[in-house]
Structure 1
Amino acid sequence: MIVDAAELQVAATPMEGFGHQQFDNVLGFTEKGLHTAVAPSIGYKRNFKKQKRPHLASF
């Protein structure tokens, strides 16, 4: 899935530590005998202009 997204120039990253039981309940998977294994974060990359950061005084 991540490779396919990259081919479409879409950013995708798997999320760790998500509450899979809550996902299953909200999506109705529990009643169907299914369960969530992976939750990806998918979106387009945003190009930010690099900005110079002001130098902080050394202490």
Structure 2
Amino acid sequence: MLPWKNSSQPACCIWLCLKETYNSFLQRPLAQRVIQQNQLKFIVYEPYAEEIVKWTN
């Protein structure tokens, strides 16, 4: 469990990441495992197109 997550409190954080970071790092198996185990929510943003390309729940 991540240190900022308290099991008695609902998850309330949404992380913002750039599309390049998502494609190069967050697609790795270890990163995917951490995301799934901790139920992390994030928005993937493409700064050049100025658009959100992915939103996880």
Is the pair's TM-score, using the shorter chain for normalization, greater than 0.5? no
TM-score normalized by the length of structure 1: 0.21
Larger radius of gyration: 1
Select the structure that is richer in strand: 2
TM-score normalized by structure 2?
Answer: 0.21
